[in-house]
Structure 1
Amino acid sequence: MAVANRELVEIFKARTDKREYRRTVLKNSLEVLLISDPDTDKCAATMDVRVGHFSDPEGLPGLAHFLEHMLFYASEKYPLEDSYSKYIAEHGGRTNAFTSSEHTNYHFDVNTDCFEEALDRFAQFFIKPLMSADATSREIKAVDSEHQKNLLSDSWRMNQLQKHLSIEGHPFHKFSTGSWDTLEVIPKSRGLDTRRELFKFYEENYSANLMHLVVYGKENLDEIQNLVEHKFQDIRNTERSCFRCPGEPCTSEHLQVLVRSVPIKQGHKLRIAWPITPEIHHYKEGPCRYLSHLIGHAGEGSLFYVLKTLGGYCTISVFPDFLIFTCSNLHDIDFYCYTSK
């Protein structure tokens, strides 16, 4: 197991940035970035866990996203349901989370005078969550409600269609959100206990060596580091290996395909997608941003300008999936037009 690391790492910042930064590694291998800003009126923290819906077990699509929901409920130290979210809201803060393909991220901000307790409540997500049977049943319904809302969103429908057109056995092909059917009906018909599988997924994947924590506080760096070491040192480290994609999500037979679909909303939309090398491999140069800027240019003579002259409403959105790290991303161009001609 690694020891606490105070090794100095040069952190580049803008000349006008007066904040202080420090990188450290706790004894349990949790990597931490500390930020000190004496002038701030809000403190904040975010925890990124290197596991997402690509790691959903077979037969339980949406489990990683469901776990993200469940960690907000209660912990052994703070057993009152929803007390974390209520504490943050009552002290001028906000909290949220998201699950992507290979990462799950949790974050909050709060008034400075309440930061220590807020951080302690936050740390319990990753130390001893409760995930009671009653809460599990209720939260599956909340996940399903989110899914039902997504069914009325053209962008969500297009994203799932894009997944469906990839290799069937690849993690990219999975249904990632979860629903009542995938988390309750189908598992029960197969003799699976979703809550038991939830704990198993948590125990297997939520390891300190797969986590990265950023803490932004008003105190000096030494005080923030002492606070972090005290609050987060009990997170287990099982030396879990990072997820790696088993090859690419698309072969030649999955490309050069034309699909027509009927939208929910009125209008016409064209999406062109092609696989590219993960942007993280070239994060300093940012080639996708250049591509997005050139194609999305709105000046005279541009593609946008030509479409706009047709009359009505027109937008062009160009974006890669920045949250896939170990296999090709899909770079999307969306053209949305509603014309009177």
Structure 2
Amino acid sequence: MPVPTHPRPYTETLANGLRVTLRHVPGLTRSAAVLRVAAGSHDVPLAWPGMAHFLEHLLFLGTERFPAQQGLMAYVQSHGGQVNASTRERTTDFFVELPTASFTGGLERLSDMLAHPRMYPDEQLREREVLHAEFVAWSQDAAAQQQHALYAGLAADHPLRGFHAGNRDSLPVPQEEFQQALKGFHQRCYRTGQMTLSLVGPQSLEALQALARQFDAALPVGDKVAQTPPVPLMAGSANSYQQVAEGRIHQLFALEDLPEGSAEAMAFLCHWLNNAKPGGLLAHLRHQGLAQGLKAEPLYRFGGQALLHVQFSTPAAGTDTLVEALHDWLSFFAAQQDWPALRKEYATLLQRRQQVSGALQSARADSEPLENHLSDAGATALEQVLRQLGVVDNFSDRWHLPAANPFLREAPPLANANLIRGQTSAHRGLRTFAQDRSRSRRERSAMQFSQALPDTGEEGAVFLRWVLASAPAEGLPAKLQRALQDVSEDARQAGVELSFTTTGNQWLLKLTGLQEPMPAVLESALQTLTQTDGDAPPAEQDRPLIPIRQLLKALPEQGLESAATADDAAHLWTTSRWDGLALGLNARTQSAMGLALSRIPGTADNRLAPLPAINGERLWAHLDTASGEHALLLFCPAASQGLDDEAAWRLLAHIGQTPFYQRLRVELQLGYAVFSGIRTVHGQTGLLFGVQSPSVAPAELLEHIRQFMDALAALVANLDDQTLLQQRQALADQFDAASLALKDAAELLWQARLAGHPSDYLTQLAAAIERLERPALTAAAQRLIQAEGGWRCLASSPSPGAPWRTAQ
């Protein structure tokens, strides 16, 4: 399949000064906006550090037209979208993605909150406490502190050395001077000349232009404000320094006076510097036992300056040895005469990335001034970057350019698309839709090629699950994951996301993305997994996750069977049972995938048992998070696996999501990581509540969650009929396959298969939601409170005792 060319988006500057980028992508199911403000943490008055971040938070608290319960966050959550914001050194970005039918309402709320924030004093005081809690957690987090410490070698007066997080001391809300400065910063920076709006969606270019003009008309008009250029990154003549900390060596390069195209030049350089294939720097370091990992990235770019960070993980050599190898490779790379082969492959992988990007990914990419290849200007800039990095004319002969990515090559045509390539009678009856049009037979197969999603698009998905007869030896799952790293990276560049997750006695291999390279990716992944005997490179030292993320990572392990440990990887594979699901694949891809599927280890089994129910039980699992903060997850499975119960649980979660956040985070200020929603774990759908708090213990957090659940029935009862109907329809619309990205639809259908639902699950679930009436929803709230489907709690402290039972 030839890779199509994706040009840069349409750009223009509107009459009021708003710059817009517009990209029409017919195949998308959603629309997205990224609004970039040319002002960040380094642009606030020196007296009030943290003001830019604080203002970003305040904008989400509602306006007179759209109060918090009707504001952007609540609106996006009610329509199954996503919203976020980020304050960086010189920019502040707001991200919104929604189903296209509700996109206009999201843009209206975004423009209104940017233009007309309420900024009430009492709301400011509450939000400052949230920022202070974030600051406390940041100040206690070793990884965050190490990240900040990376700037210690810079000039003392460079703003990167300053404090910009914001806390109670730096944000004196009651002071009139602060209020004037806050409002002045908003008025000066949040106006049309300061903003760039990137819109991506299936709408026509004319429709996107109309949306952009409506957005422009709602904003305060004003010219762009010149941002103060920073002082030099480093004092004196030095332009680099090193740091050693916690199993890592950091090499930092301060670059100045960079020309146009330097951003794409550094992206190109970092891509090849991070490449792990033989002949490159990382492969050499691993082979020589000097270091296990390498990551190069620009930490900062503005006004012709850039700070390039190269991190060596798990080093077994001194700084001088590693930096010498780095300089030697850079000198080799600089001598490659315009990098024609690398530029060609790089352009191809960027085009593949665009092919599989969702609306929000595309909008975020369009907000950056980068080409979809290394342009001539970028190549010229790269030469200057390399000169500043100190390259020389002589270097060792150990290096060579990496081999081409095999998955970026066009697949050869099949001799006969009606046959599975390499099929024999020993292949356990694997069949494609082209060979077997019987739905009942397809759905009884261990490997189900489902027609639940259309096969007319470029993308598809494959899920393969193994249930092990024995538990793997400690460390084996991590070794398998590391062995897949190179295959996974090549696949990602070719447009296929490959993941291998191991939870208890279940292993899952998942592929989503472009169909064309998928058969080769699957074959390579299976070969790698089954030929790895535990001799993969040792693991890098992972940075610890924050407590709530540790709990989320552990949640899928709960309730899985345990078995005796087996040390032999080959024995684990051959004694396992497997099943699978493929979605969106056309007949050509199914045929091309036959050889790979014939090599699946283990015994095909289409009768794998679902996760056991915990009806009526209250199970507590304690996870030591090694943190001074508290965290708790409460997972409440639906009362049964029936679709009516699942529909009720989903609607309860939909209605309660915003009030839960408002109650525990805004009103009670229990913590900054507060969320609720639906989560499906191994086919079990349930309500998930999560809180991380710096001061409130898990038992008390649980009591607040229980009190909120007690109020759910009243919340349902107090909704007027029109609002309930709107909420119900908005939720049902989220399961329309035409409005779901293939990746999201595939995940829903895989979980439905684990739960034993038929292939028309999405249609049946939407219908079950649409027929939900208030009495049934109120009854479901009572069944939730009574733990009819069970409660499963993961927490950073031990069980409080009855009625909780410690999980095994």
TM-score, length of structure 2 as denominator length: 0.36
Q: Following superposition of structure 1 onto structure 2, how do residues 29-68 of structure 1 map, counting pairs within 5 Å?
A: 29-68=17-56
When residues 152 and 219 of structure 1 are mapped into structure 2, their CA distance, relative to the original with a 3 A threshold, is same
* TM-fit CA distance, 1:152: 4.0
Structure 2: state its 5+ residue gaps.
317-537, 539-808
When residues 296 and 218 of structure 1 are mapped into structure 2, their CA distance, relative to the original with a 3 A threshold, is closer
- 1:245 is matched by which residue type in structure 2? P
Matched with 1:204 is 188
- 1:199 is matched by which residue type in structure 2? K
Q: Following superposition of structure 1 onto structure 2, how do residues 190-201 of structure 1 map, counting pairs within 5 Å?
A: 193-201=177-185
When residues 256 and 151 of structure 1 are mapped into structure 2, their CA distance, relative to the original with a 3 A threshold, is same
Matched with 1:272 is 251
Q: Following superposition of structure 1 onto structure 2, how do residues 99-178 of structure 1 map, counting pairs within 5 Å?
A: 99-178=87-166
Q: Contact between 1:298 and 1:304, CA under 8 Å: does it hold in 2?
A: yes
CA distance in 2, matches of 1:146, 1:290: 34
Higher helix share: 2
CA distance in 2, matches of 1:278, 1:316: 27
CA distance in 2, matches of 1:82, 1:249: 44
CA distance in 2, matches of 1:312, 1:90: 51
**Which is higher, the Rg of structure 1 or of structure 2?**
2
- 1:334 is matched by which residue type in structure 2? Q
RMSD: 3.0
When residues 224 and 293 of structure 1 are mapped into structure 2, their CA distance, relative to the original with a 3 A threshold, is closer
Matched with 1:320 is 298
Whether 1:281 and 2:260 are equivalent positions in the alignment is yes
Identity of aligned residues (%): 22
The DSSP-based 3-state class of the residue aligned with 1:298 is coil
Matched with 1:292 is 270
CA distance in 2, matches of 1:36, 1:136: 39
* TM-fit CA distance, 1:155: 4.1
Q: Contact between 2:44 and 2:51, CA under 8 Å: does it hold in 1?
A: yes
When residues 21 and 291 of structure 1 are mapped into structure 2, their CA distance, relative to the original with a 3 A threshold, is closer
CA distance in 2, matches of 1:279, 1:155: 30
Matched with 2:313 is 336
- 1:269 is matched by which residue type in structure 2? R
Q: Following superposition of structure 1 onto structure 2, how do residues 14-33 of structure 1 map, counting pairs within 5 Å?
A: 15=4, 17=6, 21-33=9-21
Deviations along 1:133-183, whole A, 9 cap, x unmatched? 122111112222222332344443233223344333332222122223322
When residues 242 and 231 of structure 1 are mapped into structure 2, their CA distance, relative to the original with a 3 A threshold, is same
* TM-fit CA distance, 1:231: 3.1
Higher relative contact order (CA 8 A, sep 6+): 1
Deviations along 1:227-247, whole A, 9 cap, x unmatched? 321232131233242203143
Q: Contact between 1:85 and 1:95, CA under 8 Å: does it hold in 2?
A: yes
When residues 154 and 255 of structure 1 are mapped into structure 2, their CA distance, relative to the original with a 3 A threshold, is farther
- 2:251 is matched by which residue type in structure 1? I
- 1:94 is matched by which residue type in structure 2? Q
CA distance in 2, matches of 1:23, 1:307: 44
When residues 302 and 35 of structure 1 are mapped into structure 2, their CA distance, relative to the original with a 3 A threshold, is closer
Matched with 1:4 is none
Deviations along 1:187-226, whole A, 9 cap, x unmatched? 87xx565444321210122221111001123332222222
Task: Compare 168-177 and 39-48 and name the one that shifted more.
Answer: 168-177
Which of the numbers 72, 93, 96 marks the counterpart of 2:84?
Answer: 96
Q: Contact between 2:24 and 2:205, CA under 8 Å: does it hold in 1?
A: yes
Structure 1: state its 5+ residue gaps.
1-13
When residues 270 and 328 of structure 1 are mapped into structure 2, their CA distance, relative to the original with a 3 A threshold, is same
Which of the numbers 201, 204, 209 marks the counterpart of 1:225?
Answer: 209
CA distance in 2, matches of 1:82, 1:151: 34
When residues 156 and 245 of structure 1 are mapped into structure 2, their CA distance, relative to the original with a 3 A threshold, is farther
Q: Contact between 1:295 and 1:303, CA under 8 Å: does it hold in 2?
A: yes
CA distance in 1, matches of 2:99, 2:122: 32
The DSSP-based 3-state class of the residue aligned with 1:182 is coil
TM-score, length of structure 1 as denominator length: 0.80
* TM-fit CA distance, 1:72: 1.2
CA distance in 1, matches of 2:211, 2:284: 57
